[in-house]
Amino acid sequence: MPRRPICMIVHAYYEEDPRVRREAEALVAAGWEVDVFGLRRPGETASAVVEGVNLRRLPVRRHQGAGLSVYLVEYGAFLMRALWAATQAHRRRRYGLVEVHSLPDYLVFSALPMKLAGVPVLLDLHEAMPEFFRSRFPRAANPISYRLLLLQEKLSIALANEVLTVNEPLAERLVRLGAGPERLTVILNSPDLRLFDPTAHPHRNFMADGKLRIVYAGALTPTYELDVVLRAVASLARTRPDLHVEATFYGRGDAQAPLEALAKELGVADRVSFPGRIPIEEVPKAVAAADIGVAPTRLDPFTQMSLSTKVLEYAAMAKPVVASRLPTVERYFDADTLAVYEPGDHESLAATILSLVDRPTERRARVRRTRQRVEELSWARQAETYLGVVGRMVAGPGSRRSVRNGRP
């Protein structure tokens, strides 16, 4: 009997969301048909096929860095369009499962008609939305809005048959909120080592051209303390004039203009560059051309439960990694792997970078151990767990078994 197709709904541009792409492509590789309903940029076609995944682009755009009211209108417009488009498609396709990715959590209600028709619903919680809201919109955050966000999170989880999330601390938080652990599975945001393969790109010896090249590849938003990186570069330029440091920030976001202004103010504009966002397929090449990858995350109630995918991607490319000292980072990586600095402290970051420059034996050992750890956490392992969840849900309640997470 042929497998029924899988429906995915995500408020994102599909090509830009590595987690959604990895999951969808894993399903296709395992023999499933997958339809993804996502955002559409101006000029894009309404449908496309990417690596065997059927895209259904809905006419809603992302307004990154906009105010809260704009986000709410955008979320609402996408929810209604996704509900209509996916429900209509189900009449033709007869989906065997619908998976909804947050944010927002309540996007899961776009699957309500299919749920009522007997289709199982899988909710993939990429973030803790109440904490994200407090971090992203501090002026609008208050006890009432926080309780409302908790309520929508609980209702969203209640609608889903099963829930995925991205790490153990987030899973533990959901259990404390009342989510049954038997319905919850951790699928780490691990890189696909077939893409992040250091042997597929020219090898750069550390500081091969006499310059220390620092790379960051991710969103340029206040969540990531790139201002601290700029101040660390300025500190190194001042205290170690013999060490020529350059930093490249790949990405886009509302923090770019303030960062460029800060670089000029600090006198390091000639040492930093902002080439813009690059496709995920080009990230390994950009990392391979650098000496150190930085994952600078600001510490707050939201990020203390996060593990930056940048940490894993840099490590997969066999590069030294400098990351903020966050609880989740230290949970997955011990002191002998990543080099960490105190969040918000540019002098701590500068000192950590110098430790990698001045201690080559320790640096090489860190690279080797961190790469080994990433292999343990790799997407190949996570995909096996993910496919098990999907297969079990499509097969029905009688096939349920306990799969807690994708960690070794």
One DSSP character per residue, 4-57 reads PPEEEEESS-GGG-HHHHHHHHHHHHTT--EEEEEE--TT--SEEEETTEEEEE
Looking at the predicted structure, is the pLDDT value of residue 301 above 60? yes
Q: What is the DSSP string of 174-234?
A: HHHTT--GGGEEE------TTTS-GGGS----TTTTSEEEEEEES--STTB-HHHHHHHHH
Task: Give the model confidence (pLDDT) of 220-262 as tens digits.
Answer: 988 899 999 999 999 999 999 999 999 999 999 889 999 999 9
Per-residue pLDDT, 235: 97
pLDDT band at 205 (very low <50, low <70, confident <90, very high): very high
Radius of gyration for the chain, computed over Cα atoms and rounded to the nearest angstrom: 22
Task: Give the model confidence (pLDDT) of 380-389 as tens digits.
Answer: 999 999 999 9
Percentage with pLDDT > 90 across the chain: 80
Looking at the predicted structure, is the pLDDT value of residue 369 above 80? yes
The helix-helix angle for 309-316 and 360-376 (nearest 10°) equals: 110
Per-residue pLDDT, 139: 76
Per-residue pLDDT, 341: 97
Average the pLDDT over 392-402 and give the result.
71
CA distance 392 to 390: 5
Per-residue pLDDT, 72: 83
Whole-number average pLDDT of the chain:
92
Stronger pLDDT, 406 or 179, i.e. the higher one: 179
Give, for 300, the enclosing helix (H) or strand (E).
Answer: none
State the greatest distance between any 2 C-alpha atoms of the chain, in Å, as a whole number.
69
Task: Give the model confidence (pLDDT) of 13-36 as tens digits.
Answer: 999 999 999 999 999 999 999 999
Per-residue pLDDT, 346: 97
Of the candidates 10, 32, 166, the residue with the CA atom closest to the CA atom of residue 85: 10
**How would you classify the pairing of strands 34-39 and 47-50?**
unpaired
Task: Give the model confidence (pLDDT) of 44-66 as tens digits.
Answer: 999 999 999 999 999 998 766 66
Per-residue pLDDT, 244: 95
CA distance 335 to 345: 19
Q: Which two tokens stand for residue 150?
A: 């908790």
pLDDT band at 302 (very low <50, low <70, confident <90, very high): confident
Looking at the predicted structure, is the pLDDT value of residue 37 above 80? yes
Return the amino acid letter for 163.
V
CA distance 36 to 50: 10
Stronger pLDDT, 70 or 324, i.e. the higher one: 324
Q: Which two tokens stand for residue 229?
A: 């990186």
Q: Which domains does the chain have, with CATH numbers?
A: 6-190+378-399 (3.40.50.2000), 198-376 (3.40.50.2000)
Task: Give the model confidence (pLDDT) of 276-288 as tens digits.
Answer: 999 999 999 999 9
CA distance 358 to 337: 17
Average the pLDDT over 306-324 and give the result.
95
Three-class SS string for 337-381? CCEEECCCCHHHHHHHHHHHHHCHHHHHHHHHHHHHHHHHCCHHH
Task: Give the model confidence (pLDDT) of 105-156 as tens digits.
Answer: 999 999 999 999 999 999 999 988 888 888 777 777 788 888 999 999 999 9
- In terms of phi and psi (left: phi > 0; alpha: psi -120 to 50; beta: otherwise), the region of 210 is left
Of the candidates 106, 100, 104, 102, the residue with the CA atom closest to the CA atom of residue 7: 100
**Helices and strands (H and E) in the chain: how many:** 14, 14
Percentage with pLDDT > 70 across the chain: 95
CA angle centred on 40, ends 34 and 45, rounded to 5°? 80
Q: Which two tokens stand for residue 280?
A: 């995920």
